Amino acid sequence: MIPRTVVYSEGILPTSGCWTNVVITPDSVQPQPPVDPLILIPNVFTPNGDGTNDVFFPDTSAVVITRMEIYNRWGNLIFTSAPAMSWNGNAENGKPCADGTYYYLLEYSTANGEQRKTKGFFTLIR
């Protein structure tokens, strides 16, 4: 692959009276973290009792989830399980959690025994 250079011009004429160019090269941009093709994680779930998307759990056809932690938006741990089990959207006291964004931390092992971790977020909608 041949590196490309992209040149952007600022939209405002600086007080010096000269347009300023910003040069962005592939090395100057942080890449997005790679998506692990071995694990599919839903970005939303609806624990409303209708039988569809009522629990949060990744598609684990190619890995074994060994630990799952769920955090609320304030960073409080609200669910943990090891070995990992699905989360039904309730806090440990059994009270339903509010709609919103939640964060997960997963530990898993691949078919060849490699241990990995991944984290991200999802939305709970009641």
What is the CATH number for 107? 2.60.40
Position 9 in a domain: no
Position 3 in a domain: no
Distance of CA 77 to the CA centre of its chain: 16
Position 30 in a domain: no
pLDDT in tens, 55-71: 999 887 778 899 999 99
* Domain total of the chain: 1
Position 50 in a domain: yes
Position 85 in a domain: yes
Position 6 in a domain: no
Position 67 in a domain: yes
pLDDT in tens, 62-105: 788 999 999 999 999 999 999 889 999 999 888 999 999 999 99
Better-predicted residue by pLDDT, 20 or 45: 45
| Cα–Cα separations (whole angstroms), residue 106 to 48, 53, 109, 124 | 24, 19, 10, 17
Mean pLDDT over residues 22-48, rounded?
67
Confidence of residue 4 (pLDDT cuts 50, 70, 90): low
- Determine what percent of the chain falls in helix, strand and coil, rounding each to the nearest 5: 0, 40, 55
Q: In terms of residue numbers, what domain contains 120?
A: 44-124
Q: Tell me which residue of 76, 83, 118, 81 sits closest to 97, measured CA to CA.
A: 76
